[in-house]
Structure 1
């Protein structure tokens, strides 16, 4: 029976190896501090955070995410440690929410390695706080307990760490925020939460098994669209895990405890019943129309996949949610497999250590037999986990094949037949495909990488040798050409999915080195103006776009959008910058940073085609610019992370197949529609 805690309540822990699962609905930072019997944190080496995620007996997430799994081995904690505080904070300076009062109430669950919930806590009553001590795991008379704390700090991480007695609190808070900002720059943003009835028909999973059975499969998709477990550094994963983003149960205050609460409860049950602790942000709208139903599967067989079987008001929204569900499924089932393999290896090492610790077993047949038995058990556990993974991958491959053929142009690859019947749309789609993502365990399974429209952050197409993937082996000139080709393909896709007159593209090519790659855009006449060349051209384009941002900002803030100058182009704008920093002086760099920071909110978007090493002379001046952009590569490269588990995903760009004329045909239709609209 799970104990649903309220603020100040505690509960005994019967297991030493635990996980604390966090669900917040928005990317947050998770960390932990170790303190002695007096509650003192002795130094930065006693703090686990994204920049230093591992301490003895403790591991936290390496980046900000909507869901976290913190792993604990209480038996491995140093004897001097008497309290472990679980910290949550909102990322600082990265454009997200600035206080917990604007996001869904964070939910935490303390679970065993088999996924069984021991205690849960929904942190309510937060408003202006941006950091909170969520839970405490503490020793009491030789046993460990968990206490719901929920102590918030309006001053953020720095105030929280200072309150815990850490002299270097401000410096550590800055380093944590820097580590998080770097992580967010490489992360794929999570989609908006789906409604609770967004589960899709899935194949029946095997029953949940214990740690010794090392099950790595998935369970039926939960209310959040996920049934697969996440990774546990200390053992197997929970096959029946469901993301708790929509958890809305009202916790019941438990019996009085012998231990004094750290913080007095903020609410108590009334005479009419228990207090409703559901956060207002978790309320859902009316349910959308039901999705198509899948054909009935034969008993014992997985359900046949159907395109658009997720929840949504339209087919585009259902397909969008389905693609994100596949992405999440692959992330979690791979995490389950990796966790099961880690458990098998850890168990084998423990058994071998036990055998070798007895001098009588180091020689002779008894020791050899014990070692062979340990290795055989390891092989059996790994094979069982691989079988479960292959079942899940086979189902996802079948679903991907069905979904890919049903995607609209905005979501489809360039080789999808849907482009041959392309017509200029009259409405802006929900999202745009930037490329494909895959993991090493399923090289042939590609998940479309979709981002919502309008774009909330700019793009940086990396034209340099990144040191990983194919980019480390490619010729530098070839990489530059491929990077601009990728930018052109993405710009053409954006133009193709917007209605006529709703999107304009500008190009800065100071030295004219991109003439060949830019030819499809220039030749078709879809650009707002010819590519700007030289320092004068750079200055002119940047001046016009920064002026547009200023004017629209003033109009929006003053509530006078009808007072904009008559010649102002009201469409969204995309600026492609090639060969940066050639042709840029300090003023131009400042304007570029301004467009990256302020432009997306008023419809001005940035696409940089650049090698970061080329701009090294600017030093830290450009760091905020790089961090604000989503990095993409012109060749497959493993640099992106998912928002749930934090896997390293390989990204492949959405390029036009060699010899295909689809790009020219699409751009010709776009140009014709634009000319008709301008008449």
Structure 2
């Protein structure tokens, strides 16, 4: 029977293989430390954290997340370990809350591998603390127990690690912070919250598409926005799940649904229900989501599809993992007994184990195929109905393009897919105005896909991707509400920039050389300073009449060529302060080229969302932990749609604007 602990209370543990589940109101960092009989960490290797998530008997999430699942095998811990501490900390430098007093109290639970809860603890009473030891598993007279601790630290991770006896606590805390920030920079943004009407409709129309089976229901809960975890657990379940009909929802407090949060979203009128098809399945309808306008309903529907896709794949992977773990356990039993290792009985046992494995995988695959089929049918209906801001360049809607009268709520930045969903791509939408800049990585390091492309070709593809994104932004903003600036010190991106220059969408030639870099950065830095001062003082009417208050995008090619130390500092300033006053960066850069600056530029890279010019599985979601393949929004080869759209943008600017 599950026990709800209060601070200081303990409870015996039923076995060695367990899970610790964490649910918080927002992204938190989860880790675990090992202590000896005196309660001290003997070395830095006695902590599992996002930069080093694996220890013997322990595995933690790689990212900050609202939901975590930590795997524990007490029998696999080193013999000198007498205590395992669960650590929670708020990520720093990402604009979130700075202490636990500002958010709802985290919830932690120790469960068996089948999800049965052993003990839980709501970590209340925190105020100025930004790190906390939530639980400890400790050895007492040959058996293990769990104790609710709730010891907070206002000094954060460093103070918490130092209190456990780690000599270089500050250094390790910095390493963890860097790893978390890097993970969040690779994460896709959080989807909007679901109303009860949304949930009921999705469950009726998609069936089990967003169900989660067994233990793989999702370690993470958001990129970058919401943090994330990984779906890799070194321990295996003992109870067979029901992969044919996965349970609804993901893990939350008490095993409830994951809360998919999106800031600033409200609810609107609910559209009419979809009508059932002839075979009993519900026919998908474009705009079948909550929202005040068709665009908002489509936006929410796309996030519904993303959530469904993520969860149904998580369910499938979980079922496959369970099938493999059960087969391994059954084969281990055969090998453990010398009398059954060889002979007809052993062969029969192996055959039966493999048959059960195949049966479970087949059942899971059938559910996956059913749910993916429904999502593909929905995608086929939704894609043609998308407005230009949400549509691919090959969508016919662009051929009927006209300059918008108001800024759309979001922009399509590319497509996301998973290997299990062949042919299914979900639009990657980012809210407008942009809340952070973009970094198109034209380097080879850390990318298997980019390593197959020649360096010069990769840089050309990165420049083309930057042009396609810049053109999209120019097209979706009303006349005179968007200004494009480009820095191309060596002129290496001239071919990719040709559509912007030839149509006049880029009103001035790209800034070239060190002087051009300096002048452009000085202009934009001054704009940020003036607007910030005007906003803070409530004197926006006092801004100079010639100040361009439109949304600004600065595209930077060939960084750091042409940049001196002052220019680098200005660029960092724009990345940090610019988005709040309408100035965003779009960097086309290879981080290796800027290695001479060392850690000075680490905050710059962390402030930007990294995308790639080639399809690559580097974007992580913070709810289920998938690594999504990102496909950039390139214009189809031979198509003139981008040029035609830009010509209309410029014509509207000349007719109605000040251009």
TM-score, scaled relative to structure 2: 0.88
Q: Which residue is 1:234 aligned to?
A: 235
CA separation in 1, counterparts of 2:149 and 2:247?
A: 27
Q: Could you tell me how far 1:487 is from its partner in structure 2?
A: 0.5
Asked if 1:290 is matched to 2:297, the reply is no
Q: Which residue is 1:367 aligned to?
A: 346
Q: Which residue of 622, 642, 648 corresponds with 2:601?
A: 622
Q: Which residue is 1:515 aligned to?
A: 494
Q: Which structure 2 residues correspond to residues 110-149 of structure 1 after superposition, within 5 A?
A: 110-140=110-140, 143-149=143-149
Q: Which residue is 2:224 aligned to?
A: none
Note the residue ranges of structure 1 that are not aligned, 5 or more in a row: 218-228, 250-278
What whole-Å deviation, never above 9, does each CA across 1:392-421 have from its counterpart, x for those lacking one? Answer: 222222222222222222111111222222
Could you say what the CA RMSD is over the residues aligned between the two structures, in angstroms?
A: 3.2
Q: Which residue of 325, 342, 358 corresponds with 1:346?
A: 325
Distance 1:37 1:472, change over 3 A: same
CA separation in 2, counterparts of 1:118 and 1:146?
A: 9
Any conservation in 1 of the 2:217–2:624 contact (CA below 8 Å)? Answer: no
CA separation in 2, counterparts of 1:196 and 1:137?
A: 38
CA separation in 1, counterparts of 2:90 and 2:249?
A: 23
Asked if 1:184 is matched to 2:184, the reply is yes
Q: Which residue is 2:108 aligned to?
A: 108
Q: Which structure 2 residues correspond to residues 313-392 of structure 1 after superposition, within 5 A?
A: 313-392=292-371
What whole-Å deviation, never above 9, does each CA across 1:320-360 have from its counterpart, x for those lacking one? Answer: 23222322332232223223222322332332232223333
Q: Which residue is 2:45 aligned to?
A: 45
Q: Which residue is 1:201 aligned to?
A: 202
Any conservation in 2 of the 1:19–1:232 contact (CA below 8 Å)? Answer: no
Any conservation in 2 of the 1:345–1:378 contact (CA below 8 Å)? Answer: yes
Distance 1:402 1:15, change over 3 A: farther
What whole-Å deviation, never above 9, does each CA across 1:258-283 have from its counterpart, x for those lacking one? Answer: xxxxxxxxxxxxxxxxxxxxx9x999
CA separation in 2, counterparts of 1:493 and 1:139?
A: 59
Q: Could you tell me how far 1:29 is from its partner in structure 2?
A: 1.0
Q: Which structure 2 residues correspond to residues 273-672 of structure 1 after superposition, within 5 A?
A: 287-296=267-276, 301-466=280-445, 468-672=447-651
Any conservation in 1 of the 2:18–2:71 contact (CA below 8 Å)? Answer: yes
Q: Could you tell me how far 1:161 is from its partner in structure 2?
A: 1.8
Distance 1:240 1:596, change over 3 A: same
Q: Which structure 2 residues correspond to residues 259-274 of structure 1 after superposition, within 5 A?
A: none
Any conservation in 1 of the 2:4–2:121 contact (CA below 8 Å)? Answer: yes
Instruction: Give the count of matched residue pairs.
Output: 635
Q: Could you tell me how far 1:426 is from its partner in structure 2?
A: 2.0
Distance 1:644 1:528, change over 3 A: same
Any conservation in 1 of the 2:210–2:308 contact (CA below 8 Å)? Answer: no
Q: Could you tell me how far 1:207 is from its partner in structure 2?
A: 14
What whole-Å deviation, never above 9, does each CA across 1:533-587 have from its counterpart, x for those lacking one? Answer: 1221111111111111111222222222222222111111100111222222222
SS at match of 1:664: helix
What whole-Å deviation, never above 9, does each CA across 1:448-499 have from its counterpart, x for those lacking one? Answer: 1111222122111122334534321212222121111110110111111112
Q: Could you tell me how far 1:35 is from its partner in structure 2?
A: 2.6
Q: Which residue is 1:159 aligned to?
A: 159
Note the residue ranges of structure 2 that are not aligned, 5 or more in a row: 219-229
Any conservation in 1 of the 2:212–2:312 contact (CA below 8 Å)? Answer: no
What whole-Å deviation, never above 9, does each CA across 1:28-57 have from its counterpart, x for those lacking one? Answer: 211112234543333322211101112232
Asked if 1:93 is matched to 2:93, the reply is yes
CA separation in 1, counterparts of 2:444 and 2:306?
A: 28
CA separation in 2, counterparts of 1:560 and 1:283?
A: 27
| Segment of structure 1 superposing worse, 627-636 or 611-620 | 611-620
SS at match of 1:495: helix
Distance 1:616 1:325, change over 3 A: same
Q: Could you tell me how far 1:24 is from its partner in structure 2?
A: 2.5
Asked if 1:67 is matched to 2:79, the reply is no
Any conservation in 1 of the 2:414–2:631 contact (CA below 8 Å)? Answer: yes
Any conservation in 2 of the 1:33–1:46 contact (CA below 8 Å)? Answer: yes
TM-score, scaled relative to structure 1: 0.85
What whole-Å deviation, never above 9, does each CA across 1:238-257 have from its counterpart, x for those lacking one? Answer: 943635779999xxxxxxxx
Q: Could you tell me how far 1:125 is from its partner in structure 2?
A: 3.9
Any conservation in 2 of the 1:216–1:385 contact (CA below 8 Å)? Answer: no
SS at match of 2:349: helix
Any conservation in 2 of the 1:574–1:606 contact (CA below 8 Å)? Answer: yes
Any conservation in 2 of the 1:532–1:541 contact (CA below 8 Å)? Answer: yes
CA separation in 2, counterparts of 1:166 and 1:585?
A: 39
SS at match of 1:599: helix
Q: Could you tell me how far 1:654 is from its partner in structure 2?
A: 0.7
CA separation in 2, counterparts of 1:124 and 1:673?
A: 57
Any conservation in 1 of the 2:210–2:312 contact (CA below 8 Å)? Answer: no
| Segment of structure 1 superposing worse, 530-539 or 614-623 | 614-623
Q: Could you tell me how far 1:118 is from its partner in structure 2?
A: 4.2
CA separation in 1, counterparts of 2:384 and 2:65?
A: 31
CA separation in 2, counterparts of 1:207 and 1:512?
A: 48
| Segment of structure 1 superposing worse, 60-69 or 4-13 | 4-13
SS at match of 1:149: strand
CA separation in 1, counterparts of 2:423 and 2:622?
A: 22
